Amino acid sequence: MLGIDTKILLLLTGMILLWALGLGVWKYRQMATSPTALAHPYVDIAHRAALMYSFATLILAALAEFSGFPTAVNLIAGLVVTVFFVAAIASYMVHGLLRDTDNQFENPVHGTHAFMWTLAVAEIGGTGVLVAGFVVGQFF
């Protein structure tokens, strides 16, 4: 029987994958109707990021399942990482919808760099907790 932490992360994996597939339709429509046969860069980025993050979330679920840490610790660590995955995809979608830039760091809005540092700490930290839990659970 899978733990609730693993079940929730697997559900999120599937939801992000479905989101990625929907973004692929959006990307296709832009490519099909564009004179250059290209989607907006941030539509392309959102699609690719969602695909990669869906599989990254699957790895988080596996790490949580085999972790020696308490379920609550694994769930919080996995959710922190996944929330930032989702936030990144959503921000790429916003730029794709607005078509306001092809580089969000060229003229960043207030808070962009703070968000990026927070994202880095949260994603690396949450993943680090799950890797440490895996090591504890599987090697000690």
pLDDT recorded at residue 17: 98
Tell me the pLDDT band of 97, cut-offs 50, 70 and 90. very high
CB 129, CB 77: distance < 8 Å: yes
CB 53, CB 85: distance < 8 Å: yes
CB 96, CB 46: distance < 8 Å: yes
pLDDT recorded at residue 6: 98
Tell me the pLDDT band of 93, cut-offs 50, 70 and 90. very high
pLDDT recorded at residue 115: 96
Tell me the pLDDT band of 112, cut-offs 50, 70 and 90. very high
Residue bearing tokens 């479905």: 18
Picking from 34, 67, 40, the residue whose alpha carbon sits closest to that of residue 137 is 67
Share of the chain above pLDDT 90, in %: 100
pLDDT recorded at residue 60: 98
**What does pLDDT average to over the chain?**
97
For the chain, what's the residue count?
140
Instruction: Give the rounded distance of the alpha carbon of 123 from its chain centre.
Output: 9
As a whole number, mean pLDDT of residues 120-127 equals 98
Tell me the pLDDT band of 119, cut-offs 50, 70 and 90. very high
Q: Residue 76: phi, psi to the nearest 5? A: -65, -45
As a whole number, mean pLDDT of residues 1-12 equals 97
